[in-house]
Chains A and B, each alone.
Chain A
Amino acid sequence: MAASNSSRLFKAGRSILGGLSNNSVGASRPSYDMTCMDFVSQQQRAFIQMRTNLKVVDNSGAKRVMCIQALKGRKGARLGDTIIASVKEANMGGKVKKGEVHYAVVVRAAMQRARCDGSEVQFDDNAVVLINKQGEPIGTRVFGPVPHELRRKKHIKILSLAEHMA
């Protein structure tokens, strides 16, 4: 969603610049502006920090969650880290209600995470799975792909529930 927003901005900017260039004479100016815009809209994916909205991909009842604390890392949480999150939107009759505070583990992050063999992995969205203090997931199903990084972090239960492992 964020990706399409930023690219829409870019497209809108381009059309405005296109209009300007039609009026102005210089042909070199549009190309210079284009490179500036390119640099700005070139997806700078960032850490998951306070106030980050994330999607919930288990059947615990919550739909959207806001991060209120990244437990490890000064700059924020990454793929595989645990966060403390507050439920902002929840299904009726689920295990969790709106306004509750839970631990959660990040299973998909838009920011790339490096692996020890030199490869990097990134997803299209940010998603979490709610867990309790002991690290066990509250829900019973996990949707979407999960990365191998969870194995190192000892979230074997989530890996076993997952549909697909990336």
Chain B
Amino acid sequence: MASNVLLQAPFMVPRAPKTLAFSAAVSRHPSAAALISTSCSRKLSLPKLSKSRSFVVRAEANAEVEVEDSAEAEVTQIVVASEEKSPRKPRIKLGDIMGILNKKAIEAADTERPTPDLRTGDVVEIKLSENKRRLSVYKGIVMSKQNAGIHTTIRIRRIIAGVGVEIVFPVYSPNIKEIKVLQHRKVRRARLYYLRDKLPRLSTFK
């Protein structure tokens, strides 16, 4: 008798999601163990989250829910037919994890503040917020760009009050309120360390 109730339960699920309460009441009536009713109600409660959409519940340990248009339930076990799913997700290998995490972090940072495409030789202006009050402005030429995922940094050089100053900024930092490219200087190098030995005039920007 218990098996009969169990057999009825999967068929009840896809056909009439609206009459869930009724079927739950029906299943409680027989004097079978409360275990069955709880299992039935558990299976029935999951589809309630769908809001009038037929579900097929995968009877695995973690009990994931898959959205399916056509309900297909086997007798002994409720299994999701994997052939009906759209292309199988490729397995995530160990070596890809950092790349994926970095990409996600960059996307999250991009939604807050769009970052322009920066190249060596750009003269940029960076607005940094320190101490939540002042907005300090840093101008200068991009000497180098080190690509490291979320910790991509650019090195800005400028002559301030007669002294050359180089500052390394992490591009995707939340402290940076704005990055603006003012102009671009044609350079034939990826890193402009030669500017340290040249005349200060080449590193001065109004």
Instruction: Name A residues whose Cβ lies closer than 8 Å to a Cβ of B.
Output: 3-4, 7, 43, 108, 112, 117-125, 127, 143-145, 148, 163-166
Q: B170 near A123 (CB under 8 angstroms)?
A: no
Which of A7, A118, A120, A164 is close to B160, meaning CB atoms less than 8 Å apart? A164
Given the known interface contacts A145-B160, A145-B163, the answer about A124 and B196 at a Cβ–Cβ threshold of 8 Å is: yes
Complex CA gap A166/B164 in Å reads 10
* Chain B residues with CB below 8 A from A123, complex form: 163-166
* Chain B residues with CB below 8 A from A122, complex form: 165-167
Q: A166 near B160 (CB under 8 angstroms)?
A: yes
* Chain B residues with CB below 8 A from A119, complex form: 128, 167-170, 173
* Chain B residues with CB below 8 A from A117, complex form: 130, 170, 173, 175
Could you list some 13 contacts between A and B, CB below 8 A? A3-B196, A3-B197, A118-B151, A118-B153, A119-B169, A119-B170, A121-B167, A122-B165, A123-B163, A124-B164, A145-B163, A165-B136, A166-B165
* Chain B residues with CB below 8 A from A118, complex form: 151, 153, 170, 173
Scoring A7, A143, A166 by chain B CB atoms within 10 A of each residue's CB, the highest score goes to A166
3 pairs of A and B residues whose beta carbons are closest in the complex: A124-B164, A120-B168, A118-B170
* Chain B residues with CB below 8 A from A143, complex form: 161-162
With both beta carbons as reference points, the residue of chain B lying nearest to A122 in the complex is identified as: B166
* Chain A residues with CB below 8 A from B153, complex form: 118
